[in-house]
Structure 1
């Protein structure tokens, strides 16, 4: 799509650094230069206000990636696009689930969010499909989150770190840019299980295991 739109050598394309290295690789393959923008801390999607802050005369496009079932603020990005003559592209981020699967995930998310303590649960958003149920483990950064995850796995709760390294810290794309919300999200986020096939007993195990670990955490709010 970038090449079809004439984006190439000499152009800059604004992308998120929180996950999806493939998006950045595609920008490079098109011959353009990736410019990283920070994310909205609630949705983990590219922040239109930061996109506006990193615009330059060379900016030709911006790529919005929908993250964890949250929708990027495409309306604001398109308004920026109209104002500055930019191409706005959307990347789904994760494969879409069926209607029934999404409904079950939403029900599971409602159950978890009402009962979890010690972690910051996802912010409610209209249309959130819960492709992943991502919480934040407060504390002093990655060691706290990783210790929390290890104990959960030991209790039989499968969990994973959704983004281990932001793209702007990867070899080949490394650059000195201030992305505080991206860095914080990389250090704090943890994806808990939320598959539609989970039983109430399995959800209860997630809640009990997480809530029992409050002593590992430092006050964050």
Structure 2
């Protein structure tokens, strides 16, 4: 069921507020606006990249009528704690989910993710979670923010490694939502540091080794304008 339909099922309308994440999924906030309501952005958990239940509780007001939990990168939101918050405030928690992969593909992705977990250096790998389906394998490039991550990504692409920045601009920073001023430090930090590496089931062992070799040769953040020197 799409977000518009989910909002209709709980009667979201003009003057209402709906708590949503700002880390990706602009369509969720857009659906809230189409319903005539106000999207209220709450911060994320830095491990799961999903709504932080404590931030949701802090964002709730008497006008709040629902929370939309978005599952990110194949890792589920903490629905147990979010629903506890919902019960305390009389709010339904709606789920914006991700499509599930076939079991064989999921097993292969997890196998490749485990290989990357064990071999990668110089980036922060995803923290272990048995429920992670690795729709995307998202690492953090530590350093001084976006320039380091972007330089790291450019250097990988020059080595033929297809990587993507999962969220270039948080939703609350988009022009159509910028009028709602809010401080979301974990969302901002994740947007500056995260990078999605290949983890598709079709990747061969040699391709996985190339990913590891390219990442580890960088040895951490790359300064803007520098020429990376790679090992073999």
1:217 offset after TM fit, Å?
4.9
Runs of 4+ residues deviating >3 angstroms: 215-218
Q: Say if 2:216 is the partner of 1:214.
A: no
1:118 touches 1:217 (CA, 8 Å); kept in 2? no
- CA distance in structure 1 between the partners assigned to 2:159 and 2:59 by the alignment: 44
Comparing 101-110 with 75-84, which one deviates more in the overlay? 75-84
- CA distance in structure 1 between the partners assigned to 2:220 and 2:29 by the alignment: 39
Which residue of structure 1 lines up, in the alignment, with residue 227 of structure 2? none
Q: Say if 2:163 is the partner of 1:159.
A: yes
- CA distance in structure 2 between the partners assigned to 1:184 and 1:122 by the alignment: 15
1:135 touches 1:190 (CA, 8 Å); kept in 2? yes
Q: CA RMSD in A?
A: 1.1
SS of 1:15's equivalent in the other structure is: strand
SS of 2:176's equivalent in the other structure is: coil
Which residue of structure 2 lines up, in the alignment, with residue 72 of structure 1? 77
What does 1:77-156 correspond to in 2, within 5 Å? 77-92=82-97, 94-156=98-160
Q: Say if 2:196 is the partner of 1:191.
A: yes
1:5 offset after TM fit, Å?
1.6
Q: Say if 2:60 is the partner of 1:55.
A: yes
What does 1:164-179 correspond to in 2, within 5 Å? 164-174=168-178, 175-179=180-184
Q: 1:33 aligned to 29, 34, 38, which one?
A: 38
1:195 offset after TM fit, Å?
0.4
TM-score (normalised: structure 2): 0.91
- CA distance in structure 2 between the partners assigned to 1:162 and 1:215 by the alignment: 19
SS of 1:172's equivalent in the other structure is: helix
TM-score (normalised: structure 1): 0.96
- CA distance in structure 1 between the partners assigned to 2:113 and 2:29 by the alignment: 31
What does 1:11-30 correspond to in 2, within 5 Å? 11-30=16-35
1:95 offset after TM fit, Å?
2.2
